[in-house]
């Protein structure tokens, strides 16, 4: 089935509107629909189906073999990644809100959807980059996207859910939506798109109240300079997903309690850190499954009220401050799968550790010490008594460490590890390289060394590691890589290693390496790799130097 869309543009705004046609119920109808796609694409000057590549044919075959609900999921993935990639972690929450995926007995719906996304990636329908963002693959654009004029779109969209993506500077009230059943609305402000070059005054209360009249809204994503979230947002009783990121808001309206279908509230990256508290009324949001209040890279925590333990459907809780007795309440949320805790201190570290050990379903854990995310980051309190939940796959530790916690070596299911501002004096890989399932490792100012050599990884070390990302303000050179080290490494990233001047000749020993990314490294390194030392990287299929 085609996705029909039209674009409305002005000096200050670009608007994209999509509608998905109802699916045929028989094989005959499917064949008829395929012919209609070709005709529609030809008449609308799109790329059409002429001269399809083998990849397009492969994509079409895989797509036609999908059940209808999975076709709809993939269509929605296309809509929300049409302009920008979407965090792979965020995608299941959007699909959970936007579509009805058949439930499987005994399984959590988020797990079912995550498996669907992984299958899309395996079939090359979705592509993932090194930022863990996903987009629909290129053949989709050629096969299914049909541009029409506005009048034709309105005729096709009568009584059908419409999905809108609006890029706006907030200076003009958008057109009236009365003729369309807006189901999902994503608003991206000019300031969010180009903060260094565009001056926007943010979205006013009157502007925001325009969107609060869209009673059919199920998904509302606000990304950028939102000055306030008006009380009228509480009238959107069908809303399941609400995102207000990179905003300027000082508080969340108490009327959010009216949104009894709300599954996800994402209020991360508040610009001025003025958003400090979750309204006590939100404790009555019994359907809330994902509460994301701040990001791991320290822009301030959000405090919750006592009684937090009543939110028994929560699966994600990111950005919570565990002081004031909240650490004890967290122990009652045994169903949590993802937990992110800010400003951990000695006062509540022991209670927090005890709470975490009760969370047998936990798969992702982020712990952040007091202080900002830079030089004044304090030591992360010792939690040596912690026994990690057995299903834990992702661990982020932000803060100074005296040494690598001993319990990390026992985490046989760990696939993703991030050490931020650890400032260790000894090589952390002496422990980490023996983790049997570790696939992704990010070391951000984790190891205070000017030089790393063959001790960084032994032969056979990091057997499953696919991505290694290093951020370091001290690293000057990497001298040697032992033959047989990093046997599965596919992507090597140096990010803001501004003193890094030398990479080892033995980089060629990593035969699996597919991608090398150098961002803000010393200019001498880039000059040499492009020139006389090009032999070090000539066999790497993709090299990106910023």
Summarize pLDDT for 260-315 with one digit per residue, the tens: 999 999 988 766 556 777 888 888 888 999 999 875 444 456 778 888 888 889 99
pLDDT in tens, 8-28: 888 778 889 999 888 765 333
241 and 261 Cβ atoms separated by less than 8 Å: no
* Residue among 332, 325, 380 at smallest CA distance from 356: 332
> How would you label 196-209 residue by residue, b for 16+ Cβ within 10 Å and e otherwise?
eeeebebbbeebbb
**Other Cβ atoms closer than 10 A to 406:** 10
Q: What is the 8-class DSSP label of residue 472? A: -
Q: What percent of the chain has pLDDT over 70?
A: 86
Q: At a CB cut-off of 8 Å and minimum separation 6, what does 208 contact?
A: 226, 227, 228, 229, 230, 233
C-beta of residue 162 within 8 angstroms of C-beta of residue 17 = yes
Alpha carbon distance 166, 170 (integer Å): 11
Torsion angle, alpha carbons of 9, 15, 21, 22, to 10: -160
370: Cα within 13 Å, side-chain hemisphere: 9
Burial of 541 (0-12, 13-18, 19+ CB in 10 A): exposed
Model confidence over 394-439: pLDDT tens digits? 999 999 998 899 899 999 999 999 999 998 988 999 999 999 999 9
Give the containing element (helix H, strand E) for 110. Answer: helix 109-122
CA angle (268, 271, 273) in 5-degree steps: 80
* Verdict on whether the full-model pTM lies above 0.85: yes
pLDDT tier for residue 255 given thresholds of 50, 70 and 90: very high
Q: pLDDT at position 36, please?
A: 29
Q: Concatenated DSSP letters for 127-143?
A: EE-TTSEEEE-THHHHH
Helix (H) or strand (E) run with residue 97 in it: helix 91-98
Structure tokens at 502: 């030398």
H or E element, residue 524: helix 523-530
Q: Hey, is 170 helix, strand or coil?
A: coil
Q: By mean pLDDT, which of 166-170, 232-236, 525-529 is the weakest?
A: 166-170
The pLDDT value recorded for residue 128 is 87
- Average per-residue pLDDT in the chain? 84
143 CB burial (10 A radius; 0-12, 13-18, 19+): buried
pLDDT at 116: 92
Give the pLDDT confidence of 214-228 residue by residue, as tens digits: 899 999 998 877 778
């Amino acid at each position: 089935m085609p996705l029909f869309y039209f674009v409305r543009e002005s000096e200050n705004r670009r608007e994209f509107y999509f509608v998905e046609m109802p699916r045929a119920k028989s094989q005959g109808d499917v064949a008829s629909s395929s012919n209609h796609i070709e005709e529609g694409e030809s008449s609308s000057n799109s790329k059409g189906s002429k001269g399809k590549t083998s990849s397009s044919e492969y994509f079409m075959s895989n797509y036609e073999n999908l059940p209808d609900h999975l076709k709809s999921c993939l269509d929605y993935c296309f809509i929300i990644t049409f302009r920008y990639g979407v965090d792979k972690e965020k995608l299941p929450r959007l699909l959970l809100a936007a579509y009805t995926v058949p439930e499987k007995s005994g399984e959590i719906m988020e797990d079912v959807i995550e498996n669907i996304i992984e299958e899309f990636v395996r079939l090359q329908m979705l592509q993932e980059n090194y930022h863990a963002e996903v987009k629909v693959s290129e053949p989709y654009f050629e096969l299914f996207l049909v541009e029409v004029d506005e009048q034709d779109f309105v005729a096709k969209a009568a009584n059908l859910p419409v999905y809108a993506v609006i890029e706006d500077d907030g200076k003009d009230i958008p057109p009236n939506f009365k003729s369309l059943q807006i189901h999902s609305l994503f608003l991206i402000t000019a300031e969010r798109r180009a903060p260094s070059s565009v001056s926007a005054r943010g979205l006013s209360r009157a502007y925001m109240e325009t969107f609060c009249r869209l009673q059919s809204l199920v998904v509302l994503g606000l990304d950028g300079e939102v000055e306030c979230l008006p009380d009228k947002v509480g009238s959107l009783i069908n809303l399941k997903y609400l995102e207000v990121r990179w905003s300027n808001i000082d508080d969340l309206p108490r009327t959010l309690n009216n949104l009894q279908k709300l599954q996800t509230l994402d209020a991360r990256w508040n610009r001025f850190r003025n958003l400090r508290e979750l309204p006590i009324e939100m404790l009555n949001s019994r359907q809330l499954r994902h509460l994301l209040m701040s990001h791991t890279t320290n822009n301030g925590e959000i405090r919750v009220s006592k009684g937090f333990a009543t939110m028994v459907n929560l699966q994600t809780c990111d950005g919570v401050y565990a002081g004031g007795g909240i650490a004890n309440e967290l122990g009652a949320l045994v169903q949590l799968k993802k937990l992110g805790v800010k400003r951990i201190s000695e006062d509540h570290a022991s209670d927090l550790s005890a709470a975490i050990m009760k969370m047998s379903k936990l798969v992702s854990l982020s712990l952040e010490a007091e202080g900002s995310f830079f030089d004044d980051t304090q030591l992360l309190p010792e939690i040596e008594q912690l026994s990690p939940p057995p299903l834990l796959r992702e661990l982020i530790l932000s803060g100074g460490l005296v040494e690598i916690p001993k319990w990390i070596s026992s985490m046989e299911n760990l696939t993703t590890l991030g050490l931020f501002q650890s400032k260790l004096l000894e090589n952390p890989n002496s422990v980490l390289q023996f983790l049997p399932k570790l696939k992704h490792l990010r070391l951000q100012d984790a190891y205070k060394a000017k030089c790393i050599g063959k001790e960084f990884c032994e032969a056979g070390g990091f057997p499953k590691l696919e991505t290694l990302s290093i951020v370091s303000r001290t690293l000057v050179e990497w001298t040697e890589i032992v033959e047989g080290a990093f046997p599965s490494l596919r992507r090597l990233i140096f990010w803001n290693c501004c003193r890094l001047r030398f990479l080892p000749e033995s980089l060629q020993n990593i035969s699996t390496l597919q991608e090398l990314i150098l961002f803000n490294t010393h200019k001498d390194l880039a000059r040499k790799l492009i020139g006389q030392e090009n032999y070090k990287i000539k066999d790497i299929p993709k090299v990106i130097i910023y």
